[in-house]
Amino acid sequence: MAHGDEVRWRLSPGGLAAALRGVHADADSLWVGFAGDAGKLPEESRRRFDAELADKRLISVPLTPSELGLYYDGFSNGVLWPLFHYLLDKVRFEASNEWRAYRTVNERFARVVAEQVRPGDAVWVHDYHLALVPGLLRAQREDIRVGFFLHVPWPSSDVYRILPQREEILRSLLTADLIGLHTEAYRHNFIHSAANVLDVDVGVDSVTFQDRTVRVGVYPIGIDVARFEQQNPAIDDAMKHIVSGTPNKKRILGVDRLDYTKGIPRRLLALGRLLEREPALKSTVHFIQLAVPTREKVEAYADLRRSVNELVGRINSQHGSPTGSPLQLLYRSVGDHELLALYRTADVMLVTPLRDGMNLVAKEYVASRVSNDGVLVLSEFAGAAAELDAALTVNPYDLDAVARTIRCALSMTRDEQMVRMRRLRDRVRQATADLWARDFTNDLEQTRPVPRSSLSVPGDLDTLVERVTAAPSRVLLLDYDGTLAPIAPLPVLARPDPALRELLRALAALAGAETHIVSGRPPEVLEDWLGGLPLWLHAEHGVRSRAPGAPWTARAETPPFLERAVELLERHARSTPGALVEKKSSSVAFHYRRSELHLAEARVRAIRNELAQTFGNTVEVLEGHKVLEVKTPGITKANVVEEVVARHTTRPLLFAAGDDRTDEDMFSALAEGDVSVRVGPGITRARYRVATVPEFRELLERLLFVPDVVALNAS
> Is the distance from CB of 273 to CB of 308 less than 8 angstroms?
no
Q: Which of 104, 208, 210, 333 binds ligand GDG (CB under 6 A)?
A: 333
Q: Is residue 356 near ligand GDG by the rule CB under 6 A? A: yes
Exposed/middle/buried for 432, CB within 10 Å: 0-12, 13-18, 19+?
A: buried
Q: Which of 11-19, 200-208, 209-217, 552-560 is the region at the interface with ligand GDG (rule: CB under 6 A)?
A: 11-19
Least distance to ligand GDG, CB of residue 304, Å: 14
Residue 251 or 257: which CB sits closer to ligand GDG?
257
Closest CA to 674 of 688, 660, 692, 693: 688
For residue 114, the number of C-alpha atoms closer than 13 Å in the C-beta half-sphere is 16
Least distance to ligand GDG, CB of residue 252, Å: 17
Residue 393 or 662: which CB sits closer to ligand GDG?
393
Least distance to ligand GDG, CB of residue 182, Å: 7
> Is the distance from CB of 645 to CB of 474 less than 8 angstroms?
no
Could you say which residues in the range 124-153 bind ligand GDG, by CB under 6 A? 151-152
Residue 73 or 466: which CB sits closer to ligand GDG?
73
Give the CA angle between residues 421, 425, 430 to the nearest 5°.
Answer: 155
Residue 220 vs residues 21, 214, 328, 435: alpha-carbon distances, Å: 17, 19, 32, 10
Residue 16 or 645: which CB sits closer to ligand GDG?
16
Q: Which of 187-195, 203-211, 332-340, 620-628 is the region at the interface with ligand GDG (rule: CB under 6 A)?
A: 332-340
Q: Which of 112, 185, 269, 334 binds ligand GDG (CB under 6 A)?
A: 334
Least distance to ligand GDG, CB of residue 18, Å: 7
Could you say which residues in the range 283-322 bind ligand GDG, by CB under 6 A? 292
Residue 73 or 276: which CB sits closer to ligand GDG?
73
Q: Is residue 13 near ligand GDG by the rule CB under 6 A? A: yes
Q: Which of 9-17, 135-143, 410-418, 630-638 is the region at the interface with ligand GDG (rule: CB under 6 A)?
A: 9-17
DSSP bridge partners of 209: 200, 212
- Residue ranges with strand state E in 127-249: 145-149, 178-181, 200-203, 206-209, 212-218
DSSP bridge partners of 678: 658, 689
Least distance to ligand GDG, CB of residue 290, Å: 6
Binding mask 241-270 for ligand GDG (x = CB under 6 A): ----------------x-------------
> Is the distance from CB of 484 to CB of 499 less than 8 angstroms?
no
Q: Which of 3, 6, 14, 451 binds ligand GDG (CB under 6 A)?
A: 14
Closest CA to 355 of 396, 305, 388, 386: 396
Residue 145 or 257: which CB sits closer to ligand GDG?
257
Q: Which of 168, 276, 336, 373 binds ligand GDG (CB under 6 A)?
A: 336
Q: Which of 2, 15, 369, 465 binds ligand GDG (CB under 6 A)?
A: 15
Residue 291 or 627: which CB sits closer to ligand GDG?
291
Residue 300 vs residues 56, 272, 292, 510: alpha-carbon distances, Å: 36, 23, 15, 70
Integer Cα distance of 687 and 693 in angstroms = 17
Amino acid identity, position 577? P
Least distance to ligand GDG, CB of residue 221, Å: 4
Q: Which of 263-271, 351-359, 391-399, 401-409 is the region at the interface with ligand GDG (rule: CB under 6 A)?
A: 351-359
Other CB atoms within 10 A of residue 172 CB = 25
Based on DSSP, count helices (H) and strands (E) in the chain, helices before strands: 27, 28
Size of the site for ligand GDG (CB under 6 A): 20
Q: Which of 157-165, 330-338, 400-408, 654-662 is the region at the interface with ligand GDG (rule: CB under 6 A)?
A: 330-338
- Please list the alpha-helical segments (H only) found in 516-637: 523-530, 562-574, 597-615
Least distance to ligand GDG, CB of residue 218, Å: 13
Q: Which of 195, 221, 484, 556 binds ligand GDG (CB under 6 A)?
A: 221
Other CB atoms within 10 A of residue 194 CB = 27
Least distance to ligand GDG, CB of residue 259, Å: 6
Closest CA to 149 of 219, 93, 98, 92: 219
Residue 361 or 471: which CB sits closer to ligand GDG?
361
Integer Cα distance of 432 and 22 in angstroms = 11
Could you say which residues in the range 357-396 bind ligand GDG, by CB under 6 A? 357-361, 364
Could you say which residues in the range 183-212 bind ligand GDG, by CB under 6 A? none
Dump the DSSP string for 258-271: S-GGG-HHHHHHHH
For residue 628, the number of C-alpha atoms closer than 13 Å in the C-beta half-sphere is 24
Least distance to ligand GDG, CB of residue 55, Å: 25
DSSP bridge partners of 207: 202, 214
Residue 136 or 358: which CB sits closer to ligand GDG?
358
Q: Round the CA-based radius of gyration of the chain to a whole number and report it.
A: 33
Q: Is residue 90 near ligand GDG by the rule CB under 6 A? A: no
3-state helix, strand, coil in the chain (%, to 5): 50, 20, 35
Residue 440 or 590: which CB sits closer to ligand GDG?
440
Question: Any catalytic annotation for residue 479?
Answer: yes
Residue 269 or 334: which CB sits closer to ligand GDG?
334
Least distance to ligand GDG, CB of residue 254, Å: 11
Least distance to ligand GDG, CB of residue 358, Å: 3
Q: Which of 113-121, 328-336, 628-636, 666-674 is the region at the interface with ligand GDG (rule: CB under 6 A)?
A: 328-336
Could you say which residues in the range 151-180 bind ligand GDG, by CB under 6 A? 151-152
Active-site residue, selected from the candidate residues 177, 259, 479, 674: 479
- Residue ranges with strand state E in 250-391: 250-257, 285-292, 327-330, 348-351, 375-379
Least distance to ligand GDG, CB of residue 388, Å: 12
Integer Cα distance of 426 and 419 in angstroms = 11
Integer Cα distance of 299 and 73 in angstroms = 9
Residue 15 or 658: which CB sits closer to ligand GDG?
15
Under the phi-then-psi rule, with left for phi > 0, alpha for psi from -120 to 50, and beta for the rest, what region is 293? beta
> Is the distance from CB of 287 to CB of 322 less than 8 angstroms?
no
Amino acid identity, position 693? V
Q: Which residues are CB-contacts of 693 (< 8 A; sequence separation ≥ 6)? A: 482, 483, 484, 485, 486, 679
Least distance to ligand GDG, CB of residue 355, Å: 9
Residue 16 or 554: which CB sits closer to ligand GDG?
16
DSSP bridge partners of 267: none
Q: Which of 58-66, 333-341, 491-499, 623-631 is the region at the interface with ligand GDG (rule: CB under 6 A)?
A: 333-341
Residues that bind ligand GDG (CB under 6 A): 13-16, 151-152, 221, 257, 292, 333-334, 336, 339, 356-361, 364
Catalytically active residues, by annotation:
479
